[in-house]
Structure 1
Amino acid sequence: MILQLAIHMIIFICSIYPLASAQSDCNTTCGSVEINYPFGMNNPNCFLGKWFEIECRNTTSAADQIPYLKYTDMEVTYIDTVVNTVNIMSPIFLWNCNGKTDIPVIDLRGSPFVYSQARNKFVAFGCNNFAFLQSNGTTVGGCVSFCDKNEEVNYNIYSGTIGCYGQYCCQTSLPLHLSEYNATREDLTNKSSDECNYAFIANDIWLGSSYYYDEMRVRFIDLKKIHHVPAVLEWEILNESMNISTLEFSSGSFCNTSNLTSSQNKNSGWTCSCQIGFNGNPYIPGDCNAIPGFFNDKNRYRKWVIVGISSGLGSIILLFGLWRSYKVVRKRVIKKRKEKFFKQNGGLLLQRKLSSEEVSVDKTILFTLKDLQRATDNFNINRVLGKGGQGTVYKGMLEDGKIVAVKKFKVQGKVEEFINEFVILSQINHRNVVKLLGCCLETEIPLLVYEFIPNGNLFQYLHNQNDDLAMTWDIRLRIATEIAGALFYLHSVASQPIYHRDIKSTNILLDEKYRAKVADFGTSRLVSIEATHLTTIVQGTFGYLDPEYFHSSQFTDKSDVYSFGVVLAELLTGKRPIPIVSSEDTTNLASYFALSMEENNILDIIDKRLAKEAEKHIIAVANLAYTCLELNGRKRPTMKEVILELERIGVQDRKFNTDQSHEGIELSRIEDHQHFGGYSMSNTFPAISCQTFS
């Protein structure tokens, strides 16, 4: 008997260990709502299957966060693991409301959720209205509301009234097992009406309160502001989710079969509760704890003392053996989890790349999850530096005081971007490319650690008002030269050519001295020295994307040159690559810039903050940007030619600032600009004359 119990306990430890360990690492609040297991966020170990996943969304005011059931897209306001309910915001069905009809889709079939029959009512508002509640194509309920002839609906009638019984509105109970429904209506007068009608399922406590009725009445006057009302879902643990019976070994909890989601009244799942005298979360092993003072009755106390003494010696021996077994099992589970995550995150693929002759990677630091959790305050939302298509970047501080940026990739199992960025950045050593410090592979979601770049990105300084840095011409020219130098290094100097494939101002970071650092190599690719192009699925950012690549799916080094040309146009004009609101005929900066060059209007679109700053050299850079934006990639310069031309302009600019002794400058023709790096610009542009900026 003792041996059998010990075996059961070991099986229990193995089955719940990932769950129990995950709980300590899980975020348990979103805004003002407490998120209790089996519900959870972010890490799959924090919730029991996809139906219980919570997505914590930012509000428009950014002052708070709101939890949503991710797979049903319903806002959550309260989770109760004692009675197995979750309070949600349920949508309203609208008819003829300011000309608007909205019939939402409510379908929870296959999920562990149903609308609570005991806690909700189906309610309809309108004049001479017959409202039907339908489920699976069958009418399962309905009610009728009447109005006096020629009298408009007066919602004030409900203030302070409990119930809704036919005048202007009506209500009825819900059937059992309601997981899918829709609402329909008929006009009892058989006449088309412009009256606003609506129906919904709502929490009957919310309906029965005069305070909420008054609040509801005020909201219903302006229907445009009403989209959802409070309602209650009941839930169970579906049979296929986990072996819930193992929880009964946990002190203080017990589980029963349920048929909550089965319309045939068959066993469809489990619900668990803490035993009498205990409270806590019954779905977490060991979380049901005795209520202090509950067992003070003398007879009950004596009974438990006798039982405790009689079983104490055997329990001590058994527990010692189980403790030793637990240590062994725990060590094995941790090792297997690390191996699983290592393989899942592409560790084997990474090892093959590192051992191949074509990739040479310097030694990088392997961080532990514990190190990075401590550095980022357990990936606190307040530490977020930015979010992108591949993941979220957090600010962290290592034990030695060094500030770092930690990138947490989004999708587990899809680690090509992670491996790609790790391999590429590990072999780049350039002052204008963000430096990779290390990685963490033994976690469910792969992590990369970079040097921390403190001053944000170039897009913010160009397009947002910022008093910290005046974007003078000298600074812009220097930043352009640094970006071009980094791209020249990637294309021509690195041991194997690298195409960045996502050059844009948001991927140009600025360090403490406002030097440019090229970042985000998730979509970058290594290419052979002999290769002329890379054929891939089109990826990139609209506004920066090479039109030739978009049409042919062939990415070349000249595609990076085109994206750089857009960044150069941003630096010159201060305009966004895709304007938020534009009165121009063109839809993006590249075409608008090229059109202005062709029509000899380039001075009209130069950033006014650059007024009367080195006009001749600004025009020279505009010429360069125009060649980079050529639709025919063969006519674009290489990055080597670009960097040589920028450095030549920079030298002349510094000499001009030193020797300038007059106020006006006349530029005759663009052909006056010399060749650079063997690439001629004289045949590319129309004639342009330069006047002073207004």
Structure 2
Amino acid sequence: MNVLGLLLPMWALLNASLFFLLDARGESTPSTISASPLPKKHKPKPMFLFSSNMQAQSPVYPGMPLVPVVEEVHHQDLNKKILIALVVASTLLGGIVLFFSCFWIYRLKKSRKCRAKSKGDDVAKRHLPSPIGDKFNLLRMAGKKGSVAVMEYQLLQAATNNFREDNVLGQGGHGCVYKARFSEKLLAAVKRFEGEDIGREFENELNWLTKIQHQNIISLLGYCLHGQTRFLVYEMMQNGSLESQLHGPTHGSALTWHLRMKIAVDVARGLEYLHEHCNPPVVHRDLKSSNILLDSSFNAKLSDFGLAVTSGIQSKNIELSGTLGCVAPEYLLDGKLTDKSDVYAFGVLLLELLIGRKPVEQMSPDQCQSIVSWAMPQFTDRSKLPNIVDPVIKDTMDLKHLYQVAAVAVLCVQQEPSYRPLITDVLHSLIPLVPLELGGSLRVTEPVPLALPSH
């Protein structure tokens, strides 16, 4: 509302009224009263307002005109009326100005609050999952860091060709993982949650991956709710899991010594982010080779945060979960869960990279053996170590580097948590073993074999 647009007409109306009053005053008889005799030719005519009684009561002297007493009274009344009109008009105008000033200030404050709220809503919308309806919206969402899309079930059906078996990338604990093609430029992995008690892990992973952003942690693109089935959509990792690379058809042939060290450093960087840079610290709780995913350049990323919790939780607050052979003994026996539990699992992973064996192997129908119990006696004798490494990488590394990695692995899998190093210390000891071309600090004279084409 324009306040001036209302006040200007009122001001003009008030000026016109005052001008009319002043003009009326000027047309009346002069207000100056003189007691001196007036010339005869200017002798005023008798006024009809005088009564005979008033004339009788007034003394009249010869040659002296009547004193215009009534005229003086009229001028005083007119002055009082003008003064009263000015006071009333000024008061009225002041009240109007005050009212509209207050109203204008109120509207201004309200407008600012609305703009601030609208700006806050826009910021919140950028961080909240937003629905999409087509592939092009999905492409835009995938390009924004930290954006998670709510996807329609029909879109996932079309992208996975109705979840055909030939699009299955792997088998998870609650369902399959499918390859999804949303466009020529965008491939993704769709993880399906089915069965009982899937809600807790699904919500836990969705919650963590929405908040966590790191180059060595899998990126979540979206999710879908369809009846009792849940879906999570991740970025595509062309080389699958570390488990499939080490123990699949290729038996680790694509993983050179330097690539294995690069993968170890990538995993350590991801864990360091969880342990040192998240507040409160996060324990992955299910670190294993099947949850380490590799992209087309063999960059490693942590995945499967369904069991992740904050550090320091006791067993009375959370169910015992994990994978046999990778679970720290203090968590398995006493329910104590800290960042050192992840360090133990990382040590198992290092042994797996060095030796090429699974964390737990079936020795007989009723007997299993863990990689830790098998490797620890072997590592006590340095002369035996080169003979037990994975045949794929045997004699391809500097023995000093081999001994150093083996020593780090032994420290990580100590039974007593206090004897294990922090993941930051582990990371700093491994970075010098990785060539510069692969993200480390090692300078090598011979060309470093980079990632092989994905299969």
Instruction: State the TM bucket, normalised to the shorter chain.
Output: 0.5 to 0.7
Paired residues for 1:389-404 under 5 Å = 389-399=173-183, 401-404=185-188
Q: Which runs of 5+ in 2 are unaligned?
A: 1-127, 130-144, 447-455
Decide whether the 8 Å contact of 1:499 with 1:557 is kept in 2: yes
- Alignment-mate amino acid for residue 596 of structure 1: Q
Counterpart for residue 344 of structure 2: 562
Q: Which residue of 600, 603, 611 maps to 2:394?
A: 611
Decide whether the 8 Å contact of 2:253 with 2:392 is kept in 1: no
Counterpart for residue 418 of structure 1: 202
Paired residues for 1:30-179 under 5 Å = none
- CA change 1:407–1:649 in 2 (3 A) is same
Counterpart for residue 658 of structure 1: 445
- Does residue 537 in structure 1 map to residue 323 in structure 2? no
Counterpart for residue 331 of structure 1: none
Deviations 1:562-588 (A, max 9, x none): 0110010011111121124479x9811
Give the C-alpha shift of residue 381 in structure 1: 2.1
Counterpart for residue 269 of structure 1: none
The DSSP-based 3-state class of the residue aligned with 1:576 is coil
Decide whether the 8 Å contact of 1:391 with 1:409 is kept in 2: yes
Give the C-alpha shift of residue 496 in structure 1: 3.4
Give the C-alpha shift of residue 506 in structure 1: 1.1
- Give me the whole-angstrom Cα distance separating, in 2, the residues matched to 1:422 and 1:647: 31
- Give me the whole-angstrom Cα distance separating, in 2, the residues matched to 1:366 and 1:494: 25
Give the C-alpha shift of residue 648 in structure 1: 3.2
Q: Which residue of 233, 251, 263 maps to 1:479?
A: 263
Counterpart for residue 301 of structure 2: 517
**Identical positions, percent:** 36
Q: Which residue of 346, 365, 372 maps to 2:156?
A: 372
- Give me the whole-angstrom Cα distance separating, in 2, the residues matched to 1:418 and 1:555: 21
- Give me the whole-angstrom Cα distance separating, in 1, the residues matched to 2:178 and 2:376: 38
The DSSP-based 3-state class of the residue aligned with 2:189 is strand
- CA change 1:598–1:532 in 2 (3 A) is farther
Paired residues for 1:14-29 under 5 Å = none
Decide whether the 8 Å contact of 1:438 with 1:449 is kept in 2: yes
Deviations 1:614-638 (A, max 9, x none): 1110110000000000000111011
- Alignment-mate amino acid for residue 344 of structure 2: Y
Decide which structure has the larger Cα Rg and report it: 2
- Alignment-mate amino acid for residue 244 of structure 2: Q
- Alignment-mate amino acid for residue 472 of structure 1: T
- Give me the whole-angstrom Cα distance separating, in 2, the residues matched to 1:460 and 1:394: 15
Counterpart for residue 172 of structure 1: none
- Give me the whole-angstrom Cα distance separating, in 2, the residues matched to 1:470 and 1:615: 21
Corresponding pairs, count: 299
Counterpart for residue 279 of structure 1: none
Decide whether the 8 Å contact of 2:435 with 2:444 is kept in 1: no
- Alignment-mate amino acid for residue 603 of structure 1: P
- Give me the whole-angstrom Cα distance separating, in 2, the residues matched to 1:467 and 1:631: 30
- Give me the whole-angstrom Cα distance separating, in 1, the residues matched to 2:291 and 2:272: 17
Decide whether the 8 Å contact of 1:562 with 1:629 is kept in 2: yes
Q: TM-score, normalised by structure 1?
A: 0.40
Counterpart for residue 409 of structure 2: 625
Counterpart for residue 178 of structure 1: none
The DSSP-based 3-state class of the residue aligned with 2:360 is coil
- Give me the whole-angstrom Cα distance separating, in 1, the residues matched to 2:197 and 2:415: 38
- Alignment-mate amino acid for residue 650 of structure 1: V
- Give me the whole-angstrom Cα distance separating, in 2, the residues matched to 1:426 and 1:651: 32
Paired residues for 1:254-269 under 5 Å = none
- Give me the whole-angstrom Cα distance separating, in 2, the residues matched to 1:582 and 1:607: 22
Q: Which residue of 592, 613, 619 maps to 2:374?
A: 592
Counterpart for residue 133 of structure 1: none
Decide whether the 8 Å contact of 2:362 with 2:369 is kept in 1: no
- Give me the whole-angstrom Cα distance separating, in 1, the residues matched to 2:314 and 2:273: 17
- Give me the whole-angstrom Cα distance separating, in 2, the residues matched to 1:514 and 1:505: 14
The DSSP-based 3-state class of the residue aligned with 1:569 is helix
Paired residues for 1:487-498 under 5 Å = 487-498=271-282
Counterpart for residue 406 of structure 1: 190
Deviations 1:630-682 (A, max 9, x none): 000111011111111111333699757439xxxxxxxxxxxxxxxxxxxxxxx
Decide whether the 8 Å contact of 1:476 with 1:571 is kept in 2: yes
Deviations 1:129-174 (A, max 9, x none): xxxxxxxxxxxxxxxxxxxxxxxxxxxxxxxxxxxxxxxxxxxxxx
Give the C-alpha shift of residue 533 in structure 1: 5.9
CA-atom RMSD in angstroms: 3.0
- Alignment-mate amino acid for residue 572 of structure 1: L
Decide whether the 8 Å contact of 2:269 with 2:427 is kept in 1: yes
Q: TM-score, normalised by structure 2?
A: 0.60
- CA change 1:614–1:593 in 2 (3 A) is same
- CA change 1:425–1:628 in 2 (3 A) is same
Deviations 1:220-265 (A, max 9, x none): xxxxxxxxxxxxxxxxxxxxxxxxxxxxxxxxxxxxxxxxxxxxxx
Counterpart for residue 220 of structure 1: none
- Give me the whole-angstrom Cα distance separating, in 2, the residues matched to 1:438 and 1:373: 14
Give the C-alpha shift of residue 387 in structure 1: 1.3
Counterpart for residue 574 of structure 1: 356
The DSSP-based 3-state class of the residue aligned with 1:555 is coil
Decide whether the 8 Å contact of 1:536 with 1:555 is kept in 2: no
* Higher RCO (C-alpha under 8 Å, 6+ residues apart): 2
Decide whether the 8 Å contact of 1:502 with 1:523 is kept in 2: yes
- CA change 1:655–1:525 in 2 (3 A) is closer
The DSSP-based 3-state class of the residue aligned with 2:170 is strand
Structure having the larger proportion of residues in strand: 1
Paired residues for 1:319-330 under 5 Å = none
Decide whether the 8 Å contact of 1:620 with 1:649 is kept in 2: no
- Give me the whole-angstrom Cα distance separating, in 2, the residues matched to 1:398 and 1:508: 24
Counterpart for residue 669 of structure 1: none
- Alignment-mate amino acid for residue 375 of structure 1: A
Decide whether the 8 Å contact of 1:593 with 1:602 is kept in 2: no
Give the C-alpha shift of residue 443 in structure 1: 3.6
- Give me the whole-angstrom Cα distance separating, in 2, the residues matched to 1:545 and 1:588: 11
Give the C-alpha shift of residue 598 in structure 1: 2.9
Counterpart for residue 275 of structure 1: none
Give the C-alpha shift of residue 391 in structure 1: 2.1
Structure having the larger proportion of residues in helix: 2
Deviations 1:98-125 (A, max 9, x none): xxxxxxxxxxxxxxxxxxxxxxxxxxxx
Decide whether the 8 Å contact of 2:431 with 2:441 is kept in 1: no
- CA change 1:586–1:605 in 2 (3 A) is farther
Runs of 4+ in 1 over 4 A off after TM superposition: 531-535, 651-656
Q: Which runs of 5+ in 1 are unaligned?
A: 1-353, 356-360, 660-694
Counterpart for residue 602 of structure 1: 385
Q: Which residue of 637, 643, 647 maps to 2:421?
A: 637
- Does residue 548 in structure 1 map to residue 330 in structure 2? yes
- CA change 1:467–1:460 in 2 (3 A) is closer
Q: Which residue of 508, 511, 514 maps to 2:292?
A: 508
